[in-house]
Amino acid sequence: MQSTRRGSPWTGLGTVIAKETADHLSSARMRILEALVFLTALAAAYAAIRSIRATIGESPFLFLRLLTMAQDPLPAFIALLGFLIPLVAIALSFDAVNGEFNRRTLSRVLAQPIYRDALLLGKFLAGLLSLTIGLCSLWLLVIGLGLLLLGLPPSTEEMMRMLGFLVATIAYGGVWLALALLFSVLFRAPATAALAALGTWLVSSLFWSFLTDIIAALVAGPAEGVLGPRLAYLNAQQLIDRLSPNTLYAETALALLQPQTRALGPVLISQLQGAVLGAPLPVTQSFVLIWPQLTGLIAATIVIFAIAYVLFQRQEIRA
Amino acid sequence: MADPIIRAEALTKRYGSNLAVDHVDFDIAAGEIVGILGPNGSGKTTTILMLLGLTEPTGGRAMVAGFDPLRDPLEVKRRVGYLPDQIGFYENMSARDNLAYTARLAGLSRREIDERFNAALERVGLGHVGHARVTTYSQGMRQRLGLAEVLMKRPSVAVLDEPTTALDPHSTHEFLDMIRRLKADGTAVLLSSHHLDQVQSVCDRVALFNRGKLALTGTVTELAGRVLGGGHVFDVEAHGSEVPELIAGVPGVVRVQPLGGDRYRVDCRRDLRADLARHLARSVDLTGIFFAAPSLNEVYARYFEEAGDAVY
């Protein structure tokens, strides 16, 4: 039976966002995760600063090195973020919908004059807002730490690159947030939803490169030809690799935080003619370079959210 | 009946091959309390969800407070208060914050929330614990809080799904009084319950569901008339072993049921008090004949005894 609904689908959206954000920011779960992220990321940044101070005159992009430089035993700040952000995002939304079912609050909330659209989008946006608040605080802390310990302000170009990196990190978190939300719609038990999301994260972060090599070899033939690496294999490998949000995020971070990066795929010798190797790319060119990766992350978020939305619309509300 | 506040016309819901609600028709007037009865899986909750706009009907239509729940679910929800069975709240929040959240979703301003919150909580007897976290509440207190949420909305229709399941007898009594006060406010109440005595004590009419169909609807007396036969019920008190046979021999008597001691419940097609007195007084020691209200429990039991396909 088809009928046009009247009234805005976003009625009550602001109320849902406000309540959910307050819940996130005051929850013990979020505080533990924030403490974990802040401690590890700040430790990595501090270790990088100590290393940078020894070589302070060698790079015009000191603040960017703050984020990219690894100092044993700690990995680089961006590597830690790439690892921990999915964890935070999953923790924020793995029980977003099934939690309402289990608490038996869903029918109470949906009996109020709001559509399901507002509830689901509100929960997603609240998660994204909480993640953004946490990341912005971390971003400002790292800059503050850099100012204090390096004694130098970041340049405009560095600020723009770091800002772009912040946006990319939020988009990356958005993908995992949407995925955990999807699992919270699919599975009635929050533990199952969390496990499914963490499993996807593990596959994506640990096993994807192995899988990529195997699938690329199956699709495009062996990696090495008579004259060296085969372009067909490299292209297939890159295409499959980029299905993982981790790859898209890593490429974005690389291009933005290492200005010398001129390409994010196989480069032919003929393409290098006239290029000044090692020279930094202007910030606008770096943004052009990461544009497909950034839009890919945002598109993945939208697609995953849309699937969760369709599934949620079809569910029976009896709890 | 004046313009009904709820009207269902051939309302139907199908899940795959399962017909959950099958062409249900009924009207409910403003200020009327109607009990929805039936075994589990008979279509009661699905009907309620369709009236609330929480699930789409497969066929037919409904109008609630002048709006179609399918086309105008937001308008319907603004006018309907819903208390689901086994109501849940956000445990980490206070009663006030829980109610303020749903009130904001319902479009109430901060001032309206402040005004209505205390009044609603006082009315359900929770005024002293309004700022406590819900996690400290007993199940009975949660049910009351759910009713307070309904009251805050000042609805035209209140839908209460098994509201007294978790309540002790005293709380149940108080809760039924609160439902009566809703009626006094002019609110139509749809009460779904398995507690037939409670339904009988508070409802103006009853709708009996069976296998997705609306099997019976009317006052308890009307239902008794149709199910028990006649609808005139008397308690006869007489001493003697032949009393049941003598009563059953009176033309117009449908059923004789021993109540214990010398008392018998007699279902008749018409007022047979004079005939019963004449027949019994001749041969046994007749103490009295009393009016007895037909019991909804009896109506329900007899209906499903005869229907023979109830799922308990």
Contact A123, A130 (CB under 8 A): no
**Could you give the C-alpha distances from B23 to A170, B37, B70, B178, in angstroms and in order?**
51, 17, 16, 32
With cut-offs at 50, 70 and 90, classify the pLDDT of residue B310: very low
Compute the Cα dihedral for A197, A201, A203, A209 and give only its sign. positive
User: Longest C-alpha distance within chain A, in Å?
Assistant: 72
Mean pLDDT, residues A175-204 taken together: 96
Mean pLDDT of chain A, nearest integer:
88
Mean pLDDT, residues B261-272 taken together: 88
Which value, to the nearest 10 degrees, does the dihedral of the CA atoms of residues A236, A241, A242, A245 take? 170
pLDDT surpassing 50 at residue B311:
no
**Could you give the C-alpha distances from B50 to A39, A279, B267, in angstroms and in order?**
51, 67, 38
pLDDT, tens digit, for every residue of A139-150?
898 888 888 887
Element (H, E) at A225: strand A224-225
Q: Residue B1 has what pLDDT?
A: 57
Q: Residue A309 has what pLDDT?
A: 97
Cβ pair B77:A104 closer than 8 A: no
pLDDT surpassing 90 at residue A166:
yes
Residue A166's DSSP bridge partners are: none
Cβ pair B71:A4 closer than 8 A: yes
Picking from B49, B75, B88, the nearest residue to A103 by CB comes out as B88
Interface test mutation site (partner B, options A8, A104, A107, max chain B beta carbons within 10 A): A107
Cβ pair A317:B105 closer than 8 A: no
What is the DSSP secondary structure assignment for residue A196, as one 8-state letter?
H
Chain A nearest C-alpha distance from B247 (Å): 50
Q: Residue B120 has what pLDDT?
A: 94
| Nearest CA among A291, A52, A44, A297 for reference residue A170 | A297
Q: Scan residues 84-123 of A and list those with Cβ closer than 8 Å to B.
A: 103-105, 107-115
Cβ pair B84:A108 closer than 8 A: yes
Cβ pair B54:A111 closer than 8 A: yes
Chain B positions touching A97 (Cβ under 8 A) are none
Q: Residue A216 has what pLDDT?
A: 87
Interface test mutation site (partner A, options B58, B82, B92, B101, max chain A beta carbons within 10 A): B101
pLDDT surpassing 70 at residue A269:
no
| Nearest CA among A234, A14, A248, A259 for reference residue A121 | A14
Q: Strand B188-192 to strand B80-83: parallel, antiparallel, or no bridges (unpaired)?
A: unpaired
Residue of A nearest to B93 (CA): A23
Q: Range with the lowest mean pLDDT among A58-72, B148-162, B253-267?
A: A58-72
Q: Range with the lowest mean pLDDT among A106-115, A231-240, A248-257, B142-151?
A: A231-240
Give the residue, A168 or B267, on which the prediction is more confident: A168
d(CA A256, CA B185): 66
Print the SS3 string covering chain B: CCCCCEEEEEEEEEECCEEEEEEEEEEECCCCEEEEECCCCCCHHHHHHHHHCCCCCCEEEEEECCECCCCCHHHHHHHEEEECCCCCCCCCCEHHHHHHHHHHHCCCCHHHHHHHHHHHHHHCCCHHHCCCEHHHCCHHHHHHHHHHHHHHHCCCEEEEECCCCCCCHHHHHHHHHHHHHHHHCCCEEEEECCCHHHHHHHCCEEEEEECCEEEEEECHHHHHHHHHHCCEEEEEEEECCCHHHHHHCCCCEEEEEEEECCEEEEEECCCCHHHHHHHHHHHCEEEEEEECCCCHHHHHHHHHHHHCCCCC
Residues in contact with A39: Cβ distance below 8 Å, sequence separation at least 6, in sequence order = none
Q: Range with the lowest mean pLDDT among A192-201, B32-41, B185-194, B221-230?
A: B221-230
d(CA B280, CA B242): 10
With cut-offs at 50, 70 and 90, classify the pLDDT of residue A37: confident
pLDDT surpassing 90 at residue A229:
no
pLDDT surpassing 50 at residue B312:
no
Mean pLDDT, residues B59-72 taken together: 94
Picking from B71, B77, B92, the nearest residue to A112 by CB comes out as B77
d(CA A33, CA A31): 5
Mean pLDDT of chain B, nearest integer:
90
Residue B235's DSSP bridge partners are: B265, B290
Q: Strand B285-291 to strand B232-239: parallel, antiparallel, or no bridges (unpaired)?
A: antiparallel
Q: Residue A79 has what pLDDT?
A: 87
Chain A positions touching B154 (Cβ under 8 A) are none
Mean pLDDT, residues B192-211 taken together: 93
What is the DSSP secondary structure assignment for residue A2, as one 8-state letter?
-
First to last CA, chain B: 34
- Reduced to 3 states (helix: H, G, I; strand: E, B; else coil), residue A278 is coil
Domains, chain B, in order of start with CATH, read 6-218 (3.40.50.300), 223-307 (3.30.70)
Contact A190, A198 (CB under 8 A): no
Residue of B nearest to A104 (CA): B88
Interface test mutation site (partner B, options A112, A115, A116, A119, max chain B beta carbons within 10 A): A112
Mean pLDDT, residues B129-151 taken together: 93
pLDDT, tens digit, for every residue of A46-100?
787 777 776 666 677 878 888 888 777 778 888 888 888 999 999 999 999 999 9
Return left, alpha or beta for B10; rule: phi > 0 is left, psi -120 to 50 is alpha, else beta. Answer: left
- The structural domains of chain A, with segments of one domain joined by +, span 13-263+279-314
Q: Residue A55 has what pLDDT?
A: 66
Picking from B57, B75, B87, the nearest residue to A1 by CB comes out as B57
- Percentage of chain A beyond pLDDT 70 is 93
Contact A56, A62 (CB under 8 A): yes
Tokens at A129, concatenated: 């807002």
Mean pLDDT, residues A240-263 taken together: 90
User: Longest C-alpha distance within chain B, in Å?
Assistant: 75
Q: Residue B230 has what pLDDT?
A: 66
CB atoms within 10 A of CB B49: 27
Contact of B303 with chain A, judged by CB distance below 8 Å, is answered with no
Tokens at A51, concatenated: 């290393």
Chain A positions touching B52 (Cβ under 8 A) are 111
Q: Residue A276 has what pLDDT?
A: 65
Contact of A314 with chain B, judged by CB distance below 8 Å, is answered with no
Picking from B70, B81, B82, the nearest residue to A3 by CB comes out as B70
Q: Residue A225 has what pLDDT?
A: 79
Chain A nearest C-alpha distance from B240 (Å): 55
Chain B nearest C-alpha distance from A71 (Å): 42
Chain A positions touching B89 (Cβ under 8 A) are 103, 105, 108
Q: Residue B86 has what pLDDT?
A: 81
